[in-house]
Amino acid sequence: MTRPAAAAQVGGVTHPDSATPHSLNVVKDRHRVVVIGAGFGGLALARRLRDAPVDVVVIDANNFHTFQPLLYQVATAGLGADDIAYPVRGIFRRQRNVTFRMARVTSVDVDARTVHLNSGGPLHYDTLVIAAGAVSNSFGVTGVDEHAFPLKSVEDAVALRNHVLAKFETAAAAPNAVEPGALSVVVCGGGPTGVEMAGGLIELFEHVLAKDFKQLDVRHAQVILVEMGERLLGTFAPKSGLRALRTLTRRGVEVITGTGIQSIDAVAVRLTDGRRIDAHTVVWAAGVQASPLAAATGLPLTRGGRIIVGPDLSVPGHPEIYAIGDIAADGTTPLPQVAQPAIQGGRHVARQIERSLAGQPTETFTYHDKGSMATIGRHDAVAEFANGRRLSGPLGWLAWLGLHIVYLMGFRNRLNVLLNWAWNYVTYDRSARLLGADDVDADDRMSELP
Ligand SMILES: Cc1cc2nc3c(=O)[nH]c(=O)nc-3n(C[C@H](O)[C@H](O)[C@H](O)COP(=O)(O)OP(=O)(O)OC[C@H]3O[C@@H](n4cnc5c(N)ncnc54)[C@H](O)[C@@H]3O)c2cc1C
């Protein structure tokens, strides 16, 4: 029990923006819950409010939900972008109390209880749930913003894939004059994303592009994984990190640990130990920080920039505002920025909104850690469960496959992904590697391609 019921907020509210087309389905005197972000947290919350006496407005800058755990597969041509993204309107088609608004929230006026959008008038809320996630964090390293590829959105993944493919096309035009590092990729960050990316890239190079580009010497195409800590998968058990190191090394990835990134430019990466690695492609998987929206709300932030929430996930002093997932933290022991805290937080807040409406006090959020997983590549993954059980190798991989299919949004996507994986598994082929002239033009780092 953490705060008194907010029953006084319920009912009789006039919505200043009720003339917007998006409020046409909204019964005026119903409690309005505005949710910023259709990610894991926002979706879990809105779905859990299905039978609540509220109108829910979900706002997202994109009109689709992104399944971020499979972004690396899009970046390595294993899956298409639309296999891991799902239209938000489709998700809520049958849920009558949800409307969707595609817009970017630019600020929140907590006194007027309105959110401001990049298009259209302000939107009033009775309860606000901020679930805007995180963005890539360059940690101030020189050249990251200009030269490295982040992996946080579908656009990032597609841009990276196109860049890698375009590098090979360029090299094929003059196979005997391939510049040092032209085909190489440095992956910065040896956490799950970096490990998965490095494993996916080496498979793409060895099993697909080596055959596609017979005239090229694939030894030019190196994958180098750089981790500042002493081992890979630092949040996993040491055994899992060691397994990732051994598997990646055996498959041809060069792994460098205990060294940070000093700077990045268009053709090379400099390490803090003075080494220089020639590479025209750099993937930045070193970490994330809260969405810039956190600062734009004017609400108190942790030192890491996340919105401070109390035990029930509401913002202290603002019982009508909650923050969940990657953008929120309790100020003392921040939860990891992974999907489960966001999903569980979303469900918890939905319950608290219902309790408040029923005049009941809110409850403390308790996070149930279900474990962690990371795939290292073809039929190898590590999976660590909360009960201490650990799976690795093909069994870990099967557990990883099963879990990702279960959490993936939409039947069509699940089927597509399953078929793609089965096809890739049997043939080693990757179908999502089409590259058009426009894709190359869109990649301004590819100016040398005719
Ligand atoms: C490459 C990668 C791999 C990952 N792999 C795993 C994994 O294997 N397992 C795991 O548990 N976690 C994984 N994660 C982390 C996990 O995806 C996140 O922790 C999770 O998505 C957080 O959920 P969320 O609801 O807080 O935010 P998100 O899911 O990021 O959703 C935020 C939403 O808010 C929207 N948004 C942001 N700003 C605004 C704005 N101003 N206005 C309107 N909309 C806005 C965004 O468009 C987005 O749809 C991975 C993340 C990445 C990037």
Cα-to-centroid distance, 60 and ligand 1 (Å): 12
Residue 7 predicted with pLDDT over 70: no
- For residue 274, the model assigns a pLDDT of 97
- For residue 434, the model assigns a pLDDT of 84
Cα-to-centroid distance, 369 and ligand 1 (Å): 18
- For residue 14, the model assigns a pLDDT of 36
Lowest mean pLDDT among 56-60, 114-118, 404-408, 426-430: 426-430
Average pLDDT over residues 436-445: 70
Average pLDDT over residues 4-17: 38
Confidence (pTM): 0.91
Which of 74, 119, 338 to probe ligand 1 with, by most ligand atoms within 8 A of CB?
338
Cα-to-centroid distance, 444 and ligand 1 (Å): 26
pLDDT, tens only, 282-324: 999 999 999 999 999 999 999 989 999 999 999 999 999 999 9
Of residues 19 and 276, the one with the higher pLDDT is: 276
- For residue 102, the model assigns a pLDDT of 98
For ligand 1, residues with CB inside 6 Å are 36-42, 59-62, 66, 68-69, 71-72, 104-105, 131-133, 151-152, 192-193, 291, 293, 325-327, 337-340, 342
Catalytic residue among 146, 155, 179, 196: 196
- pLDDT tier at 435, thresholds 50, 70, 90: confident
Minimum-distance ligand 1 atom for the alpha carbon of 324: 26
Cα-to-centroid distance, 136 and ligand 1 (Å): 11
Q: Is 196 a catalytic residue?
A: yes
- pLDDT tier at 343, thresholds 50, 70, 90: very high
Q: Which residue's CA is minimally distant from atom 33 of ligand 1?
A: 37
- For residue 438, the model assigns a pLDDT of 77
Supply the mean pLDDT for the chain. Answer: 90
pLDDT, tens only, 176-216: 889 999 999 999 999 999 999 999 999 999 999 999 999 89
Q: What 3 state SS string does the chain have?
A: CCCCCCHHHCCCCCCCCCCCHHHCCCCCCCEEEEEECCCHHHHHHHHHCCCCCEEEEEEECCCEEECHHHHHHHHCCCCCHHHCEEEHHHHCCCCCCEEEEECCEEEEECCCCEEEECCCCCEECCEEEECCCEEECCCCCECHHHHCEECCCHHHHHHHHHHHHHHHHHHHHCHHHCCCCCCCEEEECCCHHHHHHHHHHHHHHHHHHHHHCCCCCHHHCCEEEEECCCCCCCCCCHHHHHHHHHHHHHHCCEEEECCCEEEECCCEEEECCCCEEECCEEEECCCEEECCHHHHCCCCECCCCCEECCCCCEECCEEEEEECHHHEECCCCCCCCCHHHHHHHHHHHHHHHHHHHCCCCCCCCCCCCCEEEEEEECCEEEEEECCCCEEEHHHHHHHHHHHHHHHCCCHHHHHHHHHHHHHHHHHCCCCCCCCCHHHHHHCHHHCCCC
Q: Which residue's CA is minimally distant from atom 51 of ligand 1?
A: 68
